[in-house]
A and B are shown apart, each in its own frame.
Chain A
Amino acid sequence: GEDVEQSLFLSVREGDSSVINCTYTDSSSTYLYWYKQEPGAGLQLLTYIFSNMDMKQDQRLTVLLNKKDKHLSLRIADTQTGDSAIYFCAESNTGGFKTIFGAGTRLFVKA
């Protein structure tokens, strides 16, 4: 079945860039999402990208999609301590109803 995989941990220093990677298996994926979850809170949608796009930039966030390799990445520029959270990669196919999530990458930002 469909699967989404992420590394579980990432540690960076404040001010550095963070790159969180994700791979997926469903070749019919239409939307790919990045969610952020802070302690005790629900998931917050950070950004999403359509499968016909290679890149999307939104302020400090850059999403890169390599559809051939089914690889998605989220780059956070000038990472701040407030960016410490769990980041979930997710994909869904046309219709957008069924969404498959990765296990989440826990980002630690050291001051």
Chain B
Amino acid sequence: SSELTQDPAVSVALGQTVRITCQGDSLRSYDASWYQQKPGQAPVLVIYGKNNRPSGIPDRFSGSSSGNTASLTITGPQAEDEADYYCHSRDSSGNRVFGGGTKLTVL
């Protein structure tokens, strides 16, 4: 089992704001990164560090962290944002680990 916990599924109405969370004690010490994965495709990095977006990622994606929880916020999600989202960080021993993933449905 992963030391990073994500809700298995989240839904949001088109144009509303959605927050996807990732919980783990190690997040008090390490930053999280976030990945979007659409069916049949490789994951894509959308957020890294405190709140950094790679080139080409829309500014509706943002990241934040408080205590043992890292969050990915999508402000005004579009239909194309429907995907699985994974957080990544370190576990309590410093090994890399992914969260279990959250399936985002845009209604």
Q: Are A and B bound to each other?
A: no
Binding site for B on A (CB under 8 A): none
Q: Which residues of B contact A (CB under 8 A)?
A: none
